[in-house]
Structure 1
Amino acid sequence: MLFIFLLGVKIDPTIIYRSGKRTFAIGILSFFVPYTLGGIVALILSHFASLDKDVLKVLPIVVEVQCITAFPVISCFLAELQILNSEIGRLASSSSLVCDVCYCIVSTVKFAAHLSSTQSIGVTIGSLFSTAVLFSFIFFVVHPAAIYAIHHTPEGKPVQEIYICGTLITLMLCGFLGEVIGIDAIVISFMVGLAIPDGPPLGAALVDKLECFVSVVLLPLLFAVVGLRTDVFAIQKMKNLWIVQLIICIAIFGKIIGALLPLLFCRMPFRDALSLGIIMNCKGTVELAILINLRLKNVLNDELFAIMILTLVLVTGIVSPVVKALYDPSRRFLAYKRRTILHHQSEEELRILACIHKQDNVLAIFNLLSASNPTEKNRIELVVLQLVKLVGRASSVLVAHIPREKPSDRIFNAFNKFEDAYRGKVSLHCYKGISPYATMHNDVCYLALEKRITFIIIPFHKQWIIGGMAESSFAFKQLNKNVLEKAPCSVGVLIDRGNQKKFWCGYMNESTYLVAVLFFGGADDREVLAYAKRMLDQPNVNITLFQFTSSEDIVGGTDRSKRLDTEILSEFRLSAFRNDRVCYKEEVVMNGRDVLTVIEEMESFYDLVMVGRRHEDSQLMAELTKWKHGELGSVGEILASLNIGAKTSILVVQQQTRFWGSRDPEESTHLRRVTL
């Protein structure tokens, strides 16, 4: 009961209402196509094949079990494959819930028909009335009580223990009443779980209290009971084995066809559609619980139970490697054009995606956006994505933010004020992504692709505060690494050292923002210089360009790359000609120590230092790499580790690396839009 109850708590039934026609089509067809095909084959076999009475009685049950696509099982499977918040993952989660609703409807109809055929009219009406009363109690008493507990829990505070105890007592009471009126306690516990809103505070608190006990104690007991009840040597008749296997194979084939048809109609790639069809056949703990329940009630004999369990294990074992081979969510994050600041057309909006973890990330992003010179002619389309860890729920969420007067909305409220300050220059779109840390990058890359983002700003995994450094987050570090590897556009990792300067608030009061650009050479440094070039027209931004030169090559690379470096430097210096707010410094260095000396001499003078992430191999870079190497690149890691000033923020930029038809990040640099 507790296991099924927790599954219900983690489910958000409202996703059915948010699902589109495609999801409904997949869910309905994934249930009724195998149900129909399996039922027809079972009917034919029962009439034309000589079957044992036990097998004949069980064939409809085999069809029903194979038609189940349990939402909790699918969610766990997707989370293990790290595709929970991919396009296929979201489709599979929503479709499985629709499929479960279809199963519940069919089971209810069959239960009512069985009751009316075996009991008197009075008993039937009484049983149905009792069921309706119990369900009404769950949805019109238990659910409002859960909402009451949530509303009376202060923001950020834990749920009171009395609410937890009251929920568990209600669960036991409803389960007992369900058994009294003839409904399995497992069904009632699931319905009670659905009545509890998923996620914080109440749903997350229940999961936190019970998950360990259920996972460590109850689930192993379930597996042990299933194992002890499974007698492989009870399989004596190969005919029974092949009959059951035929029904299962027909149901699997029907479920794949049911998922494929609407997806192919919507022109989804065949491999992705096939992957979804295979995922819908995944089985797990819910099916195990159903089978052991049927065995304990003697609906299944030892032979048929063993066949069903072994088939379930075999199918689930095959599904995982097949899906891994067929589906890679990062494949769709390939853009069809260069989405970089360098290739951005000046008359177009600059689309920026700002990723936020918490309130502390906001101020540094505001200052950077203000320095990016949003004007009525060169507008910025800002997409804000708040990234939240998935807790107390089974499915990931990526939704547009709906404004509410809640303390948790202060991040989005701050961005609304920023939009008001730059009215007509900045347009704002807010989103919230709730997903596991391991797959959070899928939300970032998906939104960047859908919104045709040019530049992603993502916070560094270390957060500095005044007087020291806060703890590092390994989860955020992996997130940044995945975004840098798979983003369909340019990416900037923003390192905030706790600078409390509110440049964005003082841009009308001639507040000055000092920016330093370190240029060594290469595609990423050219992207940095293109960004700095956009800042030239911001009257309150002063830019200092440090160009590092040497008698030997500063960085490696082709002659074409070096020619492009020279061209963009010439363009920048020409744009900055007679601009008193721009300073050019050529730093001649002989080794890595000279580079460190230049960086250390910056002290606390600058508000922002910008540098490229990757640099081609050279003797100088090899020397720097020996000292520091990580996801920010050699120079970026050195800047992040050295004490160049408590107020200095750092932006480490990587130019777009993935676009359709090319693996060379420097390819098509000269392509410009031509108006015919």
Structure 2
Amino acid sequence: MRQPQTRIVNDETMYCFWNRVDNPGEIWNSENVLMYFLPHLTIQILLIVATTRLMFWILRPLNQPHFVAELLAGFVLNIKVPYLNETIFEELLPTKGLVGFETISYLGIVYYVFVTGLEMNLDSVLRARKKASTIAIVGTLIPMILGCWVYSMIQYTSSEKNEFNTISSYLLWALATSVTSFPVVAHILSDLKILYTGLGRVALTSATINDFINWAMFVLCIPILSSGEMGIMPVILTIVFILLCYFVIRPPLNKILVQKTDENEWDLYQLSYVIIGVIFCAMVTEFIGTHSAVGALVFGLILPRGKFTEMLIEQSDDIGSGYLAPLFFASLGLRSKIDQIVQRGNFIRDIVFLLMIISTKIVSTIVATRFYGMPVRDSMALGMLMNTKGILSLIILNIGFDRELLGQEAFSMMVVSIFIMTIIVAPIINAMYKPRARYEQNKLRTIENLKSDSEIRIMVCVHNARQAIGIVNILEACNGINVSTLRVFAVQLVEMKGRSTALLLAHLEQQPTSLQTEPQPFDQSSDANNYTSNHITNVFEEYASNNANTLVENLLAMSSYSTIHKDIFNLALEKQASLVLLPFHKQNTAEGTLEIFETSYKDLNQNVMYEAPCSVGIFVDRGHHSSLFKTNMSIIMIFIGGPDDREALAIAWRMSKHHRTSLTMVRLLLCGKVAEVDSSANNEGQGLLGAVLDSGKQRELDEEYVGSFRLKAVNNEDTITYAEREVHTSDDIPQVLNELDRGGFDLYILGHGKGRNSLVLSNLLDWADCPELGVIGDMLASNSFGSNSSILVVQQYGFGGVEFKKSCCSRKANSNNDDLESLFPKVE
């Protein structure tokens, strides 16, 4: 509309028009997004993420999953503090600005559920045994029935009983009560280092089945609960969409993705198309009337597992799990009016209802496990693990609150119960299964204390097939006694990066558990991890097939290398192993020298030696992979003294009974200054007299054991010889070793050196490049020494582990490398 106006300027008349445009579109009359909503959204995201990181740091000693810290952050920001909320939080989290905040948080839901789909393994659900399936089904149905009863009690005593007393409200509450979160259970088990126990494997399998059932019920029930009879059509369309994705889209999509992954053609720009696919599938299911989370879950389920999944999660997990997902969990905390529950003053009523909500899942799991004779402690622990909640239960509550199927009181009470029942699981189970207390019960689990006809249990830890092939020679040599059984637990060590739960479950399904009577074959997949697992498994199975008195069980430990030694401890305890064999962190090259293969292996070996629950052996493989059935093996055992050397002699003694093995035992006699006692090797307060007494006791034990060996073995076996060498100075040690190495032995067996109490040897150990091998082992493994023999270094359990001063030793070794090399002449 135009309204003409006249103005006179410099005696001239000018006509001006004022233009006004009326547009019925409301978007054009809204506020400037860049001026208000975007700055507030940025501040809100930073506030939520910072608070979440702080809560996670506080809860980290309790082994809590991330979503607990994220939910707690919402509770903390929602606390009504006088003056503080009015001046700070109401400025940072205004009601008007939370609209955009919650909109962005839905992207967090979509991504989080997508990753959950990547972590779920449908094959494990289809192959599940009767025990896990029964626990999962009973753990779903009984909590639903009990949940409806608890909700009726809450409604009966609530002021909202007439408004939300509907069938949809009851069913929605029952669904939220029956949920078990598989990713959260996996996280707790992994952090507590009980993932590879019988309890851990049953819990993980049952949680996977329970999670799958819950998602299926979510797809079928939510549209009907929201729309009544009109919700049948969304259910049908959703089922059609799922079938279309799985049978039509999945085969060609997987072929393309696997091919591009094998050829390493992915970059960040191309990975963005995957995220677009997630959003598109979420949009489709939202459009047909189900929920956007269903589309994200389906897209995650149809993508290929293995290398592609790991790469995708590693590249996108920071933005998804680090920034978007916390927004959703925190928004639920902000929605929960905990202060209103507290102000009513019905503490006893609320506590009773919270206990009833928490106990439904635990009671149902105990009922199911009692039919299988599971101990009460394991049943309680399994019930608490199955009681952990996650993203699905919170999505259900969020839908019920948004669509006015649940009231504020019931919503807040359930969110609080989910928080409580998840946060208490890890501390209680950790207290129930005190690992350190269990270590103290097995101080005599050594090879030395086993009878000659007793079954020997050896746990072998390997990272790749080459290490497995080399270490099989040690097992073959230990298998020389036909009257006793050798039980081998072959553990593949896999580093877990990011959220590799799908790969984790796939491996666990292939391990023999209480649900399986024999090892299952590995799934023949094209990815590198499965290929390596197949190769390692085949190596040990072939070895077992050629030995009538040998039993092999293939296992897997997947964790970060900084904590994987705890998994090794728990497996060794569960399997009652007497010896743990570990590969050296250096690998033999074509030139015959040892080069560092993986530095993290060294720290892992030292962590195991520090507090292992049984004896430990570190194997330095020089690449002699010929089988003992085809070639004789010549072994030399160097004995100085102490418990480690006695354990090494016990192993060599057992190997000497193999019909294709010859053993030479050389005892180094310390004389003069070399025999001086190191008083600092004992506990403080004992002084020099304590060191002398301890040395005398060790010498007495050494003489007794060596005397028994000479009487029973040397005098009765033609393939066993005994010799002695005197050592007067530290310079005599490398000279004696050079002389012995001319014998061309295939394997050295040594003790690490704990309990020798020799001042000279203790000083030499401070300069060692690889202190985990001890003084003699470090010399023999040096490239300057020039030996072609493999080395087995043994540490006996029961006398305390070795505490390695990594920074000091490494600095000294590097700065004095020339001095160390000067001890040995170069071998051409």
Distance verdict in 2 for CA 1:643–1:412, change over 3 Å? farther
How big is the shift at 1:547?
3.7
Secondary structure at 1:138 match in 2: helix
Matched, 1:548 2:666: no
Alignment equivalent of 2:193, drawn from 82, 106, 115 = 82
Give the Cα–Cα distance (whole angstroms) in 1 for the partners of residues 170 and 779 of structure 2.
67
How big is the shift at 1:253?
1.5
Indicate the percent of aligned positions where both proteins have the same amino acid.
Answer: 26
Give the Cα–Cα distance (whole angstroms) in 1 for the partners of residues 266 and 555 of structure 2.
23
Give the Cα–Cα distance (whole angstroms) in 2 for the partners of residues 355 and 13 of structure 1.
29
Matched, 1:461 2:585: yes
How big is the shift at 1:448?
5.3
In the other structure, the counterpart of 1:95 is 206
Alignment equivalent of 1:365, drawn from 461, 471, 474 = 471
How big is the shift at 1:298?
5.1
Amino acid corresponding to residue 705 of structure 2 in structure 1: I
In the other structure, the counterpart of 1:573 is 710
Amino acid corresponding to residue 458 of structure 1 in structure 2: L
Alignment equivalent of 1:71, drawn from 169, 182, 190 = 182
Alignment equivalent of 2:724, drawn from 582, 586, 598 = 586
Check whether the contact 1:330–1:486 (CA below 8 A) recurs between aligned residues. Answer: no
Q: How many residues align?
A: 647
The equivalences for 1:131-530 within 5 A come to: 131-149=238-256, 152=259, 164=271, 167-198=274-305, 200-226=306-332, 228-230=334-336, 232-233=338-339, 235=341, 238=344, 245-264=351-370, 266-297=372-403, 299=405, 305-328=411-434, 340-346=446-452, 351-372=457-478, 374=480, 380=486, 382-390=488-496, 392-394=500-502, 395-396=504-505, 397-398=507-508, 399=511, 400=519, 402=521, 408=532, 409-415=534-540, 423-424=546-547, 427=550, 429=552, 431-433=554-556, 435-437=558-560, 440-441=564-565, 444=568, 453-465=577-589, 466-474=592-600, 477-478=603-604, 481-482=607-608, 485-487=611-613, 489-496=614-621, 499-504=622-627, 508=630, 513-530=633-650
Secondary structure at 2:122 match in 1: coil
Amino acid corresponding to residue 616 of structure 2 in structure 1: V
Secondary structure at 1:79 match in 2: helix
Give the Cα–Cα distance (whole angstroms) in 2 for the partners of residues 253 and 314 of structure 1.
12
Amino acid corresponding to residue 5 of structure 1 in structure 2: F
Give the Cα–Cα distance (whole angstroms) in 2 for the partners of residues 303 and 154 of structure 1.
50
How big is the shift at 1:645?
3.0
Alignment equivalent of 1:26, drawn from 130, 135, 138 = 135
Give the Cα–Cα distance (whole angstroms) in 1 for the partners of residues 381 and 213 of structure 2.
22
Check whether the contact 1:515–1:607 (CA below 8 A) recurs between aligned residues. Answer: yes
Distance verdict in 2 for CA 1:159–1:80, change over 3 Å? same
Matched, 1:2 2:2: no
TM-score, normalised by the number of residues in structure 2: 0.67
Give the Cα–Cα distance (whole angstroms) in 1 for the partners of residues 156 and 543 of structure 2.
73
In the other structure, the counterpart of 1:16 is 125
Distance verdict in 2 for CA 1:262–1:294, change over 3 Å? closer
Secondary structure at 1:500 match in 2: coil
RMSD over aligned Cα atoms: 4.3
Amino acid corresponding to residue 319 of structure 2 in structure 1: F
Check whether the contact 1:159–1:205 (CA below 8 A) recurs between aligned residues. Answer: no
Unaligned 5+ runs, structure 1:
665-676
Check whether the contact 1:440–1:479 (CA below 8 A) recurs between aligned residues. Answer: no
Give the Cα–Cα distance (whole angstroms) in 2 for the partners of residues 92 and 313 of structure 1.
20
In the other structure, the counterpart of 2:747 is 608
Check whether the contact 2:639–2:665 (CA below 8 A) recurs between aligned residues. Answer: no
Give the Cα–Cα distance (whole angstroms) in 1 for the partners of residues 273 and 157 of structure 2.
56
Amino acid corresponding to residue 7 of structure 1 in structure 2: T
Check whether the contact 2:361–2:386 (CA below 8 A) recurs between aligned residues. Answer: yes
Amino acid corresponding to residue 320 of structure 2 in structure 1: V
The worse-fitting range, judged by mean Cα deviation, of 329-338 and 188-197 is 329-338
Give the Cα–Cα distance (whole angstroms) in 1 for the partners of residues 294 and 462 of structure 2.
40
Secondary structure at 2:501 match in 1: coil
Check whether the contact 2:388–2:421 (CA below 8 A) recurs between aligned residues. Answer: yes
Secondary structure at 1:342 match in 2: coil
How big is the shift at 1:178?
1.0
Give the Cα–Cα distance (whole angstroms) in 2 for the partners of residues 357 and 156 of structure 1.
24
In the other structure, the counterpart of 1:129 is 236
The equivalences for 1:657-672 within 5 A come to: 657=798
Distance verdict in 2 for CA 1:21–1:36, change over 3 Å? same
Check whether the contact 1:536–1:543 (CA below 8 A) recurs between aligned residues. Answer: no
How big is the shift at 1:252?
0.7
Check whether the contact 2:646–2:705 (CA below 8 A) recurs between aligned residues. Answer: yes
The worse-fitting range, judged by mean Cα deviation, of 187-196 and 19-28 is 19-28
Check whether the contact 1:63–1:248 (CA below 8 A) recurs between aligned residues. Answer: no
Secondary structure at 2:618 match in 1: strand
In the other structure, the counterpart of 1:648 is 789
The worse-fitting range, judged by mean Cα deviation, of 457-466 and 152-161 is 152-161
Amino acid corresponding to residue 535 of structure 1 in structure 2: M
Distance verdict in 2 for CA 1:597–1:288, change over 3 Å? farther
Give the Cα–Cα distance (whole angstroms) in 1 for the partners of residues 702 and 560 of structure 2.
37
The worse-fitting range, judged by mean Cα deviation, of 315-324 and 156-165 is 156-165
Unaligned 5+ runs, structure 2:
1-109, 512-518, 678-690, 802-828
Distance verdict in 2 for CA 1:169–1:379, change over 3 Å? same
Amino acid corresponding to residue 320 of structure 1 in structure 2: A
Q: Residue by residue, what CA displacement relative to the aligned partner does 1:442-462 show, whole Å, maximum 9, x if unpaired?
A: 665666567665543221234
The worse-fitting range, judged by mean Cα deviation, of 224-233 and 349-358 is 224-233
In the other structure, the counterpart of 2:825 is none
Secondary structure at 1:14 match in 2: helix
Q: Residue by residue, what CA displacement relative to the aligned partner does 1:511-533 show, whole Å, maximum 9, x if unpaired?
A: 56443322233333222112222
In the other structure, the counterpart of 1:535 is 655
Amino acid corresponding to residue 323 of structure 1 in structure 2: I
Check whether the contact 1:532–1:543 (CA below 8 A) recurs between aligned residues. Answer: no
Check whether the contact 1:4–1:189 (CA below 8 A) recurs between aligned residues. Answer: yes
Distance verdict in 2 for CA 1:279–1:169, change over 3 Å? same
Give the Cα–Cα distance (whole angstroms) in 1 for the partners of residues 602 and 164 of structure 2.
54
Alignment equivalent of 1:41, drawn from 137, 150, 154 = 150
Secondary structure at 2:365 match in 1: helix
In the other structure, the counterpart of 1:667 is none
Amino acid corresponding to residue 491 of structure 1 in structure 2: V
Give the Cα–Cα distance (whole angstroms) in 2 for the partners of residues 645 and 183 of structure 1.
70
Give the Cα–Cα distance (whole angstroms) in 2 for the partners of residues 332 and 267 of structure 1.
23
Q: Which has the higher contact order (CA 8 A, sep 6+)?
A: 1
Secondary structure at 1:364 match in 2: helix
Secondary structure at 2:582 match in 1: strand
The worse-fitting range, judged by mean Cα deviation, of 45-54 and 18-27 is 45-54
Secondary structure at 1:457 match in 2: strand
